[in-house]
Amino acid sequence: MVCSSFAFTGTSSRRLPILALAQKARNQKTQITQVPIPKMTKPLENSGSFRDPSGWVFEANGEIFRTVREKAVGHYEFVKGSGLLEDLVEKGQIVTSQEIDRSALGKAAGDARLVLRHSRIPFISYPYEWSFSLLKSAALLHLDVQIAALERGVSLSDASAYNVQFDDIKPLFIDILSFRQYEEGELWAGHRQFCEQFLNPLLLRSMFGIPHNDWFRGSLEGIDMVLFANLISGWRKFSPNLLSHVIMPAKMQNQAISHSEENIAKAKKASLPKQRYMHILQQLHHWITGLTPKDSNATTWQNYELTHTYNNEEEDAKQAFVGEFCAKVNPDTLWDIGCNSGEYSEVALSSGAGRVIGFDFDQGALEHAHNRARDKNLNLLSLFQDGAHPSPDQGWNMSERRSAAHRGGADALVALAFEHHLAIGKNIPLDRVVKWLVSLAPQGIIEFVQKSDTTVQRMLALREDIFDQYSQESFEAALTSCAKTIESRVISKEGRTLYWFARK
């Protein structure tokens, strides 16, 4: 069953101390004991959990709850008794859960037999926001979980990428109710879904050098098997891996569309020995482990920290300002808008920020930021976002998958060398850019880049300068209309200025 990941989103631990659960999740053993909790405020049903008939997700008192209906209790009890959940928590691969008194949810519990309380995820992200490396690690986690489950006589009812979330760059499985008792000879029910939401997006980048993000965001269930198979031509069609997981499944899907009695009869009689099932999972794991992006050439911004136009002294001044800000504010969650390779995210974390969520549209920069977080063990999650075209509210009733702003939780932000990319690069009025940035967090730093700056002049080299309103005076007027300036500092000889703001 697909568990809506949005329900697990966290906000500032100053407002919601329960985030301590998420931070300790990997070190806790699964506790499946009846735990009483205080009477809570009216539970709010998650807008995306309606798809799962096994139980819905609710939020109350800053905590996350999951109901378990009668039809799911048998499988849940079997999985609990198998020791699988404890094993996965010990490995840091799944959210922790506790059974609580069902009366705690009041009428919201409905006909549920059980109620679970889950640990929170600090910030919810979606597969169409993940870099290649994040998607790959999520795919490998899913297969690891599947393999561990099958070894204990358990299988998964689906293979949704939305059932994986990240705590910094560490993937966590979040949908306990998608586990069920394995039946001898059963087929892998989630194979097509795994291919469309994990494998095909990875292959799109690995084989063709095309990032999956825009296609996935426009098709929330992933990259269609038949459509992807149509892209494969020539000798590639004879690759054993592609034949097994793309070409033949697409052919079978086309045949199934006919709904012929013969096809239906064959499908009902099909079986898969457990040993073969395990081999498929292990073979996929091996294949995906070796996948790398095809586009290995440097992207526009991935080496920006080495090729920017200001000198070391100016860079030191910029880092010092960010460090002073974070040391004084100590944000639990800081958003780095236009995070690039994560250089200033690292400064923020070393100066007092609890975690950083970085956003950038450059694939190479995102990979560099991911590698920085991995190599230096940083609490940094870098996600794909185009500031001029950010993830919207979408899915059923425009609420199943929420925009980044509606997932919320930023105590502060830094937007360094960013505003001119929207104001000059995307023709968005400067005042609207400023007001949008201020709306994202109650305080932060915005860097203003003069039109005379070398970077902006490069942007204007092959186009008409239609930006009469782009000036420092206009920037300051826009900022003053919605925030007060705590401090400003010129940090380059070309006049780049950092503004520390506090929202009115």
Total Cβ atoms within 10 A of residue 339: 31
H helices within 408-453, ranges in order?
A: 419-423, 430-440
Residues 472, 423: contact at Cβ < 8 Å?
no
Confidence at residue 398, expressed as pLDDT on a 0 to 100 scale:
94
* 3-state SS assignment for residue 497: strand
Confidence at residue 333, expressed as pLDDT on a 0 to 100 scale:
98
Residue position matching structure tokens 């950010």: 390
Confidence at residue 42, expressed as pLDDT on a 0 to 100 scale:
85
Residues 75, 181: contact at Cβ < 8 Å?
yes
Residues 431, 425: contact at Cβ < 8 Å?
no
**Quick one: CA torsion of 8, 14, 16, 19, rounded to 10 degrees?**
50
Rounded to whole angstroms, how far apart are CA atoms 449 and 487?
17
Could you tell me the CA-to-CA distances from 79 to 72, 121, 151, 226 in Å, in that order?
11, 23, 12, 34
Q: Closest by alpha carbon to 302, among 314, 293, 289?
A: 293
Rounded to whole angstroms, how far apart are CA atoms 315 and 320?
9
Please give the chain's pLDDT, 504 residues, in tens: 444 443 444 433 333 332 333 333 334 444 444 555 555 678 988 888 889 999 999 998 889 999 999 999 999 999 999 999 999 999 999 999 999 999 889 999 999 999 999 999 999 999 999 999 999 999 999 999 999 999 999 999 999 999 999 999 999 999 999 999 999 999 999 999 999 999 999 999 999 999 999 999 999 999 999 999 999 999 998 999 999 999 999 988 887 766 666 666 666 678 999 999 999 999 999 999 999 999 755 555 455 554 555 678 999 999 999 999 999 999 999 999 999 999 999 999 999 999 999 999 999 999 999 999 999 999 999 999 999 999 999 999 999 999 998 987 899 999 999 999 999 999 999 999 999 999 999 999 999 999 999 999 999 999 999 999 999 999 999 999 999 999 999 999 999 999 999 999
Q: Which amino acid is at 305?
A: E
Helix (H) or strand (E) holding 261: helix 261-269
Q: Closest by alpha carbon to 399, among 51, 13, 19, 42?
A: 51
Structure tokens at 480: 């003053």
Q: What is the DSSP letter of 393?
A: S
Intervals of CATH 3.40.50.150 along the chain: 304-503
Domain spanning 5-180: CATH superfamily: Transferase(Phosphotransferase) domain 1 (1.10.510.10)
Intervals of CATH 1.10.510.10 along the chain: 5-180
Domain spanning 304-503: CATH superfamily: Vaccinia Virus protein VP39 (3.40.50.150)
